[in-house]
Each structure stands twice: as C-alpha cells, then as structure tokens.
Amino acid sequence: MIEKRTFSPEGTKEFGRALAQELEAGSVVALIGPLGSGKTVLIQGICSGLGVAEPVTSPSFVIINEYPGKIRGTFVWVYHFDLYRLEKIEEFIKLGYEEYFYGNGITLIEWAEKIRTFLPERRVEINLEIVSEKERKIFVRRFES
C-alpha cells in the first residue's frame, strides 16, 4: 500500500498525473472518500496524465463521462463514473458496467463503495481522507487477480 499526503488541490492533481503513468489499458481505479475529499480533483490529475484535453468535471447527473486519452502514445478511452447520486444498484447494472470494467479503456469510479461487490478483483483502490482544509491523506492499494 502506498500512502501519500498532499497539501493543496494542485498537489492532489500532480499525484494523479504521476499515478496515470502506472495505468494500462483495462485498468479500473476505484475512489473512496467523503464528500470534499478530493476524488474529482485526483481524477482530473489522472486524466491530465492520460492526455485528456477537455475539461474533466464530475458527471453527477449522467453518472458517466467518456474522454479520449492516451497511454504511452496509444489512444484509449477514459471512463469517469460518479456514483454519488446512484440510488438503486439497478441503475448501475443497466449501464452495462461490464463493458467498461473489462474493456480496454481506463475506468475511474467516484463513490466506488456503492458498488463494491461489482468491482473487478484486479483494480486500484484509492481511499482519500480529509486531514484539514487543504491537506489530504491518500492511500493506494493494488488488487491483483
């Protein structure tokens, strides 16, 4: 497990950019943490590291946004799930999550604890904790199948 502390939103984004360099096609990144802990900011950093050119915002009302990105110069889709407003697990199942989780894109999931039983065995799980207004603790754990 990796533990990292960041002291600003930019520090959290920079950590995300560095983390992006370790991802590969098919990676699933599950983010867990309270409201305001920096999940979206971290995803913005990961997307920046994957070469996503358009603004990355939380897809709170549509559940998922898709962005074109690159891994080591090769095109890849980046799928950004935000499950904050997910009320019924059936809504998630109807999205056809398997195509995202077991495809060749990079899948980033905010509020992943809501679908823990559906997460693939092979994933990166990131827990964010609020230490103070600007400081965050970030715990990264890799699960291998």
Integer Cα distance of 122 and 63 in angstroms:
22
Tokens read off for 15: 């950590």
In which domain, by residue range, is 107 found? 2-143
What is the Cα–Cα distance from 24 to 3, expressed in whole angstroms?
Answer: 21
pLDDT of 124-140, one tens digit each?
Answer: 999 999 999 999 999 99
Count of structural domains, the chain: 1
Q: What is the pLDDT of residues 9-56, one digit of tens each?
A: 999 999 999 999 999 999 999 999 999 999 999 999 999 999 999 999
Q: For residue 143, give every residue at least 6 positions away whose Cβ sits within 8 Å of its Cβ, in sequence order, or none.
A: 121, 122, 123, 124, 125
CATH number at residue 78: 3.40.50.300
